[in-house]
Amino acid sequence: MKFIDNKNILLGICGGIAAYKSVELLRLLKKNSANVKVFMTENSEAFVGRLTFEALSGQPVCSNFFEKVGSRSEYIEHIDWAEKADALIIAPATANIIGKIANGIADDALSTLVLAVTSPKIICPSMNTNMYRNKALQRNLDRLRKDGFFVIEPESGELACGTSGPGRLPEPEYILNRLLFRLSPKDLKGKNVLVTAGPTQEYIDPVRFLSNPSSGKMGYSIAGVAEKRGGRVVLVAGPTSLQDPSNVTVIRVRSAQDMALAVFEHMEQADIIIKAAAVSDYRPIDSCKHKIKKKKDEMILSLQKNQDILEELGRRKENRFLAGFAAETENLEKNAVDKLDRKNLDIIVGNLIGHPSSGFGSDTNKVTFFYKDGTTEALPEMRKDEVADILLDRIVTMMNSSTFLGNK
Ligand code: CTP
């Protein structure tokens, strides 16, 4: 992922049962092309062996300054790492390390490292609920927040020690998500971003509907990336099985008419509107109250056109930035450019569907941007969150340009 690619991340691991989740966090960081150096406290080695972290990170683990690595002591090594670090995460962070950092104590490799790191520092407390609620611990966490540390609150639930309440380490995906938030530029700060995602469902009777195979992944990726870049994001989503992106207002809808209502309710405040939803063009004229029984061999369904939400947004656009999508099976350029003009858009993201790695349901997409000034930009196949980042890069550039209507 762009803002973590090739970045130097320090991963501190303390002695808590949640240390097993750090293995997955490390794997995710490496999968996203980060360089990771692991620092373990002595106690953490009772939970997970250092070999696991060394194998996954491709780096020796540091737990003691005085061990030699080649001809240099670890002490020198870890000061080097502190200087070149882009971020430090401690997950799980025990009450002990939190107390030490809050009070500037440096009596082992990890606590000493923390004092030397100047880049963003993320602390993920994980412990027994009563320990977490303890006043001294809370006081230390407050002090860390005031000192500029970013504390990821633990989740509530059943803990390994048998108690129930706050103290559980969040899932590694969430920790990675919040790290990305820290590392992303805040170039959408102050902007309201309205995104639509997923399919719509048009009910024929209580148990059947017309829809399409859109998974919603593209729109959810855009909403997630826009939030990380500082935007205030509202996501209007048709039925999907995806988890709500962090810190995004999600409005769940079913039909195209519901989607239109939600979009028009939120469009006034929006500076940027990105319509990634695959809206059903038609709905049944009559939706039956009861399940339709099969009778004749043939059945005729009468449909009526849904409102084109994007076209209406184009009419009411004023100085908003408007982006649409065009998923086509043929004549991509002709169809996309026609929609760009007809719907009064600033950009349209076109892709050819029918290929397994591009379009509905897949994690990747191969898209072409068609701009209002007649230029095009074809991107190679990439993950949908990468497409989202590049799309937002282009939107930010266009909105900052002197020719953008919103700047006049
Ligand atoms: N769209 C919309 N409301 C509709 C239909 C489409 O807002 N009722 C939006 C989609 O969210 C997308 C863009 O318009 O951003 C293009 O959608 P698409 O289904 O590709 O195009 P249509 O305009 O419906 O044309 P056609 O189905 O004939 O290709």
Find out if CATH 3.40.50.1950 is the number for domain 8-183: yes
Task: Give the atom of ligand 1 at the shortest distance from the alpha carbon of 326.
Answer: 20
Task: For ligand 1, atom 27, name the residue with the nearest CA.
Answer: 281
Tell how far the Cα of 259 is from the centroid of ligand 1, in angstroms: 13
Residue 328 has φ and ψ, to the nearest 5°, of -125, 155
pLDDT for 406: 62
Query: What is the arithmetic mean of pLDDT over 55-77?
Result: 78
Residue 279 CA, ligand 1 centroid: distance in Å: 6
Report the pLDDT averaged over residues 297-313: 96
Letter string b/e over residues 343-375, b meaning 16 or more CB atoms within 10 A of that residue's CB: bbbbbbbbbbbeeeebbbebebbbbbbbbeeee
Instruction: Give residue 70's pLDDT.
Output: 61
Q: Does the pLDDT of residue 408 top 50, yes or no?
A: no
160 phi, psi to nearest 5 deg? -60, -30
Residues touching ligand 1 (Cβ under 6 Å) are 256, 275, 277, 279, 281, 306, 308-310, 324-327, 339
> How far does residue 308's CA lie from ligand 1's centre (Å)?
7
CA pair distance 365, 381, nearest whole angstrom: 6
Can you tell me the mean pLDDT for 336-340?
Answer: 98
Residues of the chain with CATH 3.40.50.1950: 8-183
Q: Give every CB contact of residue 334 below 8 A, 6+ residues apart in sequence.
A: none
Q: For a substitution probing ligand 1, which of 200, 310, 368 has the most ligand atoms within 8 Å of its CB?
A: 310
Homologous superfamily of the 192-400 domain (CATH): CoaB-like (3.40.50.10300)
Average pLDDT of the residues of the chain: 94
Nearest CA to ligand 1 atom 23: 339
309 CA distance to ligand 1 middle (Å): 8
Tokens of 202: 């048009």
What is the mean predicted confidence (pLDDT) over 185-206? 97
Amino acid 195: pLDDT = 98
Residue 404, pLDDT score: 79
Q: Which atom of ligand 1 sits closest to the CA of residue 312? A: 7
The model's pTM is: 0.91
pLDDT tens-digit series, residues 144-176 = 999 999 999 999 988 777 778 899 999 999 999
**Segment 243-275, tens digit of pLDDT:** 999 999 999 999 999 999 999 999 999 999 999
Give me the percent of the chain exceeding a pLDDT of 90: 86
For the chain, the residue count is: 408
Domain(s) labelled CATH 3.40.50.10300 in the chain stretch across 192-400
In 198-345, beta strands by DSSP E: 202-205, 208-210, 232-237, 249-252, 272-275, 282-284, 303-305, 321-328
Name the residue with higher pLDDT: 363 or 191. 191
Atom number of ligand 1 nearest to Cα 263: 7
Residue of the nearest CA to atom 4 in ligand 1?
308
In the reported structure, the alpha carbon of residue 278 is separated from the centroid of ligand 1 by a whole-number distance in angstroms of 7
The residue among 60, 50, 64 whose CA lies nearest residue 108 is 64
pLDDT of res. 73: 63
Q: How far apart are CA 232 and CA 195, in angstroms?
A: 11
For the annotated catalytic residues, the residue numbers are 161
Query: pLDDT (tens digit, 9 = 90+) per residue, 377-391?
Result: 999 999 999 999 999
pLDDT at 319: 93
CA 105 to chain centre: 35
pLDDT reading at 407 higher than 60: no
